[in-house]
Amino acid sequence: MSQVPKLTRARQLAGSVWPGRAVDGYANLIVARLRKLAAAKSTGMLPFSGHGEGGIFLRDGRVVHAESSRTPGRNAGGLAALGLGPAAERAPGPDGPRPLGWLTAVLARAEAAVDAALDLVSSESRYAKFRPDEVPAAGQACDIPLETLLTEVERRRRVLRQLAPVVTADTTVVRNAQMTSPSLQVSALQWSLLVRVRAGATARGLAAELNRSVFGTTIEVYRLLALGLLSAPGYDVKEARDYDVVSFIRAASEER
Amino acid sequence: MILPEADGLLAPIMDIDGFRLACLIDASTGMVLAAQQDQADIGLPAAAAGATDIANVLALLNGRMATGESLEDVIVTFSSSLYMVRPIRRDPDPQILLLVILDRLRTNLAMARRSIRDFCVSFAS
């Protein structure tokens, strides 16, 4: 048995997670725990409780599902919400669905899992004892290598850090009574967000209403702020500064 | 790539002369869904992030200009390579983008553009 105290061992494991990052965050301990489970090719669920409740499901060390009480699950609207039937689950081919239908269905599962994992890793949640052999319901599963998921989660955290001075998933936004331009064009998604903005609206709440990812909805809310169609406390589109511009390439450049 | 099982969908793009890289990107989140790469010297995360930023900036431009149009494709010419970004489906709210990087010296731009357009049509139909 190892002579290294349990907490110290966890921090040593976390030290290799994101080099250069302080090893004092609980997020790193979660990542270290997940890495250990993946290395052991574990099957089961790592449950979380606290700020956000949920779990990350593994099968043979690969992430097959994740859910959080603070992000919409795929099942809230399911494939029907995407205009897709059960046939979209089958692999594309001559007898199967068209590639885009299949990809959209697979993406819906993966996006829900990544969105939930981002929330669980980033929030103040605490993980509990791993529950072996607890697997998601049939039809829910995706299949993502843990390292791929962690890389994507960290990329999204960098994007959210860019957005943080302007808007977060929990920032209250309001619709502007007057437009800053004589005419504007919005996408169907942006319109569906705009018409749902009521008193106390947040990106997280809008995401739940539309059964979309919280991360994607937060970015879309930011774009509506940039168009001057929404307002957030302390943000004036006329006084927007350079760092207010969200940039995926800047987030990629910060990769360590 | 978050969906490695989708990498095979990009196989037809690899037949284009001068092919170097192709990937599918979720336009709303910037997440790389699938990719095929001929050479390892291209940084996929940066290329995909740059392509998404380009599409988003053009969407913002379109929103401000209120043209009533939708993005068809973007062609960026560097000294030795071509970048093509195209929404898989032409609608006002493109969800999935295709990025293709080609060797400029070995590529016929018109033929490549046509191949990419045909690929997107068959992919989405």
According to the 3-state scheme, what is the secondary structure of A156-188? HHHHHHHHCCCCCCCCCCEECCCCCCCCCCCCH
A208: Cα within 13 Å, side-chain hemisphere: 10
Q: Given B26, B33, B66, which is nearest A185 (Cβ)?
A: B66
Amino acid letter for position B43? G
In this prediction, residue A70 has a pLDDT band, given cuts at 50, 70 and 90, of very high
C-beta of residue B96 within 8 angstroms of C-beta of residue B55: no
pTM for this entry: 0.85
C-beta of residue A199 within 8 angstroms of C-beta of residue A189: no
Q: In this model, does residue A242 exceed pLDDT 80? A: no
- Beta strands B81-87 and B96-103 are antiparallel
Q: In this model, does residue A160 exceed pLDDT 90? A: yes
Ranges A71-85, A204-218, A241-255, most confident? A204-218
How far, in Å, CA of A52 to CA of A124, rounded?
7
pLDDT at B68: 85
* Segment A71-97 mean pLDDT: 55
Write out the H or E segment, with its range, that includes residue A7.
Answer: helix A6-14
Q: A215 vs chain B: nearest CA distance in angstroms?
A: 7
Distances (CA, A) of A217 to A105, A128, A204, A214, B110: 19, 29, 7, 5, 37
Number of Cβ atoms within 10 Å of the Cβ of A236: 10
pLDDT in tens, A182-195: 788 888 899 999 99
C-beta of residue A229 within 8 angstroms of C-beta of residue A174: no
List the domains of chain B with CATH numbers: 4-124 (3.30.450.30)
**B31 and A223: CB-CB below 8 Å?**
no
Regarding predicted confidence, which is higher, A144 or A236?
A144
Q: In this model, does residue A130 exceed pLDDT 60? A: yes
In this prediction, residue A25 has a pLDDT band, given cuts at 50, 70 and 90, of low
Q: Which of A171-175, A213-217, B41-45 has the lowest mean pLDDT?
A: B41-45
- CB neighbours of A173 closer than 8 A, spacing ≥ 6? A167, A197, A201, A202, A203, A221, A224, A225, A230, A231, A232
At A240 the three-state DSSP class reads coil
Q: Which of A128, A201, A159, A126 is nearest to B26 (CA)?
A: A159
For residue B2, list chain A residues with Cβ-Cβ distance below 8 A: 110, 114, 144, 148-149, 152
Q: In this model, does residue A145 exceed pLDDT 90? A: yes
pLDDT at B27: 92
Q: Which of residues 37-76 of B touch A (CB under 8 A)?
A: 43, 45-46, 48-50, 52-53, 56, 59-60, 62-68
How far, in Å, CA of B42 to CA of A150, rounded?
21
- Greatest C-alpha distance within chain B: 40
How far, in Å, CA of A34 to CA of A127, rounded?
10
* Segment A51-65 mean pLDDT: 91
Amino acid letter for position B11? A
Q: In this model, does residue A10 exceed pLDDT 90? A: no
CA A18 to chain CA centroid, Å, is 18
State yes or no: ipTM above 0.85.
Answer: yes
C-beta of residue A125 within 8 angstroms of C-beta of residue A50: yes
Q: What are phi and psi of A58, to 5 degrees?
A: -120, 145
Q: Which of A68, A76, A66 is nearest to A149 (CA)?
A: A66
Ranges A5-14, A101-110, A195-204, most confident? A195-204
Regarding predicted confidence, which is higher, A252 or A33?
A33
Mean pLDDT by groups of 10 residues along chain B of 125 residues: 84 95 95 90 92 91 86 95 92 82 96 96 88
Q: Which of residues 109-168 of A touch B (CB under 8 A)?
A: 110-111, 114, 143-145, 148-149, 152, 155-156, 159
Q: What are phi and psi of A6, to 5 degrees?
A: -60, -45
* Segment A18-44 mean pLDDT: 77
Q: In this model, does residue A1 exceed pLDDT 80? A: no
Q: In this model, does residue A89 exceed pLDDT 60? A: no
Q: In this model, does residue A217 exceed pLDDT 80? A: yes
Domain range annotation of chain A: 41-144, 174-253
pLDDT at A18: 43
C-beta of residue A120 within 8 angstroms of C-beta of residue A89: no
Amino acid letter for position A70? R
**A189 and B93: CB-CB below 8 Å?**
yes
